[in-house]
Chains A and B, each alone.
Chain A
């Protein structure tokens, strides 16, 4: 495994969000990622993870969600793998952000945040698994030193 790669596995339980945050922050420290980018990566992975936990499984059993974050040059790649029901975030309907408050719906907002905060998203199904790969550019004006 490349030294620029960081992997962890979470069970399908929302209490794992604390572990998720710790892991993402550790990744940020190890690879000198700006705080703002770390906040956004945390949000991206949180939304995907929470979505999988809440909507991905038809049974009450334990499932594992594998997350890999890697840094190369000016970009970060996030890979999320789960064995839940097929779900392609790219086909998720964009929420209407212009309508009056009374008509605003919360559905799709999490995936909207993921889409807006990512620079590239690809999805495919491999056997019984969802594989989602996101890329996020690190801002060039970042003042943090590379490791």
Chain B
């Protein structure tokens, strides 16, 4: 798994490449914690290159969404591949998480 972060007007755009499973999720969790500790309150997850996610990845996303909301920030997801999107739908995560098509759409949701 590869994680790349870039900043745009105070928002962190995090691109995750590869797979988010119980083996790779701790690294993802550490990276997100570091970004929030550095003061970022709005995060966009760009999942264009994410080919796989399990409940271990969903756990970090739920935790992050809750944490940002408490701090009056926001988490938005974009560019999900079909199979990955299905995992979010079966889990009911699409009911509380904004999931949009592109990074530009995500910026508008913030």
Contacts and interface: CB of A to CB of B under 8 A. Distances in A.
Interface in A106-143: 106, 109-110, 112-113, 116-117
Interface of A is mostly: helix
A74 interface: no
Most-contacted residue by chain A among B19, B62, B91 (CB, 10 A): B91
Interface stretch (B3-11, B41-49, B53-61): B53-61
Interface of B is mostly: helix
Interface residues of B, number: 24
11 contacts: A17-B21, A18-B23, A21-B52, A42-B52, A43-B54, A98-B95, A101-B66, A102-B66, A106-B63, A109-B55, A110-B55
Interface of A: 14-15, 17-18, 21, 35-36, 39-40, 42-43, 46-47, 50, 53-54, 95, 97-98, 100-102, 104, 106, 109-110, 112-113, 116-117
Interface of B: 19, 21-23, 52, 54-56, 58-59, 62-63, 65-66, 69, 82-83, 87, 90-92, 95-97
